[in-house]
Amino acid sequence: MFEQATRMKFRFPSVKGELSVEQLWDVPLRSKDDFNLDKVARGINRELESATEESFVETAKANPTKQVLEAKLGIVKHVIAVKLDDEETAKVRADNKIEREKLLKILAEKQDGKLSDLSEKELQKRINALQ
């Protein structure tokens, strides 16, 4: 799919002009303006729907424009899927980091509690061992 896109020099329409395959990776999934992958995919999908309008006279001809648009849409969908997966992975990592920090804090509190349960003699012994 990407080989075809680079060989045929696919360009993807956006509000900021034509984008290459490589530039798709830099386009955000969502944005407040209309410069995002969703808008790019929707534009290609609209073109594809108009290109696939059924002819009642010409039935045997294959539409090369349709094939190109399907390939373009497939590429944009793939980029979106990868970016969504990356987003989910980052969210899981962030959640895991927060939970780990909480658990470390609780562990430190429990360890402090155990230290406060030591006798004066045991505390002095441990202090001397650290010097």
pLDDT for 86: 96
Pick the closest to residue 72 from 27, 37, 21, 35 (CA basis): 21
User: Could you list the residue range(s) of the whole structural domain that residue 81 is in?
Assistant: 2-130
End-to-end CA distance of the chain: 66
Residue 60 pLDDT level (bands cut at 50, 70, 90): low
- The number of domains in the chain is 1
Chain center to CA of 48: 25
pLDDT for 65: 84
Judged by average pLDDT, the poorest of 46-55, 75-84, 85-94 is 46-55
The whole-chain average pLDDT of the chain stands at 88
- In this structure, what are the phi and psi dihedrals at residue 19, rounded to the nearest 5 degrees? -115, 145
pTM comes to: 0.72
pLDDT for 59: 63
Convert the pLDDT of each residue in 32-41 to its tens digit: 888 999 999 9
pLDDT for 61: 65
